[in-house]
Amino acid sequence: MERFEDWLCLKEFKSWSMGTVVYRYPVLGPGRELKWVLERYWRGAIDYEAFREGVLQWLERRTRHLAQYRIDWISATDFFLYDFVLELALSLGIVPKRFLQQTFAHPEDLYFAVARGMHQTPPVDMTKWFNTNYHYLVPELHLGWTEGFPFIVEWARRTSPVLGGRAIGTIVGPLTFLTLSRVYEGKEEGVSFWRSSLAFREAFLREFLARYRRLLTDLAPFVQLFVLEEPVLVLEEVRALEKAYRQVYRQLLGDWSGPPVYVMVYYEVPALSPDWFEQLPIAGWGMDVSSFGGADDSGALVSYLSGFRAGEKGFLAGVVSGRHPFRTDPMRVKRIYERFLDAAIAPEKILWTHSAPLIHLPHTVRNESRIPEEIVSLLAFADERLEELTRVPRWAREGGSLSGQEVEHQVRQEVRERVAQLLEGRVQRSVSFRERYRLQRQRLRLPLLPTTTIGSFPQTSDVRRMRARWRRGEVSDAEYRRFIQEKIRECIRIQEELGLDVLVHGEFERADMVEYFAERLEGMLVTDQGWVQSYGSRAVRPPIIWGDIAWSSPMTVREIAFAQSLTKKPVKGMLTGPVTILQWSFVWEGLSREMIAYQLAVALRREIEVLLQEGISVIQIDEPAFREALPLKRSEWSSYKEWAVRAFRLTHSFVPPTVQIHTHMCYSEFGDIADGVYAMDADVLLIEASRSRGAIIDAFRDYPNALGPGVYDIHSPRIPTYEEIEEVLSRALSVFPVDRLWVNPDCGLKTRQWEEVIPSLRNMVHVAGKWRMRYATPV
């Protein structure tokens, strides 16, 4: 193997001593500037030229903003329009087969069609990026290559002059890209790359590596350094592939003579040893070291570093957090640096960075007025992380103190005692599912293949404007309440006209499924502008959990009880589950995630008690983050599932057998959590299934309770055809009994327009009725 150091100019490299690196800075903007440009283009409000101008103006503003910080190396390639994984796929010429015969006026139109679907062509599958709430689009691999699209190269060409010689190239690494992709070639439909046939792997890998290297070559004139992101290397299962993984890098970089290449592993401690990285033909490698010596240090990092002795390569140290928004302790940085010196890592070989992509943080704490000042002083969003990075080299040598007010976590002893009391009892339903389901169908008078939706209905501009006016005090509480009630009334009328069997109130009073509860629970804080990208142009504002959680008054009862008063059909009480509220919030360092999950469960349990008093007979407890919260290390799965399942059952285990409990999960690898999902014991499990064309249903072949596979994709503006809905339903019926099957969309309808929702649901109800008649089994 050629030595990478043969071409690396160490004298030049020494000038980077204790340098700082930034990559994957948020792209949407503090005011969601990119979001508005994208969505105006999608709905035809601006033409292509105006769209391009808006994108490039925002790109320049973003780049100039980054350039003002005293950061040594800034990524010139981390901007993206919708998803950075899809952008890499298109840059390499990997386009799904069904789009190859389509004609597009502009490359971006193809990009958005693959991401969102078009006419009768469905989009690619979407799922969670590791254990985060960011959704990536799953590349579809086949041997029908096209010419690559120069998205990434264009970003580098436009930003590198602004960065003034500080530009680096950040790209998803080849191992992560391949491992997260699926193969669609011949008889191989949806299998992972490493489980595909040897013939396909060899043929695809040969062309893939040539194209990936060509992309690096095209970027080389614009950057001084490459950082290839390889978070897949934290997964324990990659140990079985370490030889194949090493060979990929040897083939890609064995005789590389361009800018130095680093490999960055984030989210957890790498599953492969430091020696494995030292054997790669790279200039250096890096990892997340931010938890070292902190309250959240499990000891795994200490153990990993204890055997680490530096080789000839550089080290990229993720020392400030890219996942949580709490300020960095300078003394922890100093302890990490001392550990590096113990490992014989020379100072001139250290580059400092953040532990994970900054896209997981909001832009800045500036102008945050909803959070107490003493809490704000202890927060660091993306911009504040940049400021911290400029100080890290000094902190490493000298340490320092964490300035700001001392804030005590609020402890509620009565809450802790209530949690302990409930956990000592029986945390499960007292009647078997089979008997419960029989009683529920009698009470609810449900037909075969009952239809429902997931919860939310379109949050149109008039809803958003009224909510904003109410929050500014421009309309009274009574006026706002009347507005919401009229929206609920209209929503119930539409659902009854469509013929849905179990209705929802539409959630018009909720800006977000987690934030809504955070505003009403003790121990949680919400932000003004703390937007974090979830997928495409969509963003959420994660709350901050800073103390024990407590229920103080009904949160959902008024709207749901009103909706139920308008119809004889059952209306679901809609709640967000304890694990999802936990996972989609920032949890203060030092708080037990398990204990917070139990406290949230007890608060939701109290809400359910009030809903039952109002006669609500169906309650949905959404847990879309149940899979997302699964630890990346397989060895930690059983412990997580045990407390996560217990928290979910704590919310509903006390309800009468005639009350039906639904839950909803989406965009997850369900096979990893099937045992946990079974143990949750919801009466009806509603899952996303349409983007995989129903393939995910096979994971629930043995599910003992009722199942509602999503029959159409709500994240696309397309209206599904009868045939598409029937394809998913038919696949479900081939593996699942008809008397326990439900029919529903993939997810909530909040982001869609009424002109998309009504015909889509009409088609869904029509197909359900058609198949109901086929079975013609009386209830």
- Express the helix, strand and coil content of the chain in percent, nearest 5 each: 45, 15, 40
Residue 575: CB partners within 8 Å, gap ≥ 6? 517, 556, 604, 607, 608, 619, 620, 621, 622, 651
3-state secondary structure 207-264: HHHHHHHHHHHHHHHHCCCEEEECHHHHCHHHHHHHHHHHHHHHHHHCCCCCCCEEEE
Tokens of 691: 């983007």
Which among 741, 748, 673 is positioned nearest to 709, based on CA atoms?
Answer: 741
In contact, 280 and 27? CB cutoff 8 Å: no
Q: How far apart are CA 228 and CA 231, in angstroms?
A: 10
Which among 352, 354, 392 is positioned nearest to 25, based on CA atoms?
Answer: 354
In contact, 175 and 225? CB cutoff 8 Å: no
Question: Cα angle vertex 514, ends 508, 519, to 5°?
Answer: 80
N-terminal to C-terminal alpha carbon distance within the chain:
71
Tokens of 533: 């990208």
Residue 416 three-state SS: helix
Which among 710, 518, 535 is positioned nearest to 628, based on CA atoms?
Answer: 535
Beta strands at 706-709 and 684-687: parallel, antiparallel or unpaired:
parallel
Beta strands at 572-576 and 618-622: parallel, antiparallel or unpaired:
parallel
Give residue for tokens 């948020």: 26
Which one of the listed residues 363, 662, 715, 766 is annotated catalytic? 715
Q: How far is CA 387 from CA 69, 347, 384, in A?
A: 7, 21, 5
Q: How far is CA 453 from CA 36, 437, 696, 746, 749, in A?
A: 28, 19, 19, 8, 8
In contact, 351 and 73? CB cutoff 8 Å: yes
Tokens of 344: 């014989």
Residue 183 three-state SS: strand
In contact, 417 and 96? CB cutoff 8 Å: no
- Residue 715 annotated to the active site: yes
User: What number of residues does the chain have?
Assistant: 779
Give residue for tokens 């796929």: 89
Q: How far apart are CA 402 and CA 331, in angstroms?
A: 8
Q: How far apart are CA 243 and CA 194, in angstroms?
A: 13
Q: Tally helices (H) and strands (E) across the chain.
A: 26, 23
In contact, 467 and 516? CB cutoff 8 Å: no
Secondary structure letter of residue 171 according to DSSP? E
3-state secondary structure 121-148: ECCCCEEECCCCCCEEECCEECCCCCCC
Residue 521: CB partners within 8 Å, gap ≥ 6? 549, 550, 551, 552, 555, 600, 603
Q: How far apart are CA 517 and CA 212, in angstroms?
A: 45
In contact, 118 and 102? CB cutoff 8 Å: yes
Q: Report, as residue numbers or ranges, the catalytic residues.
A: 715
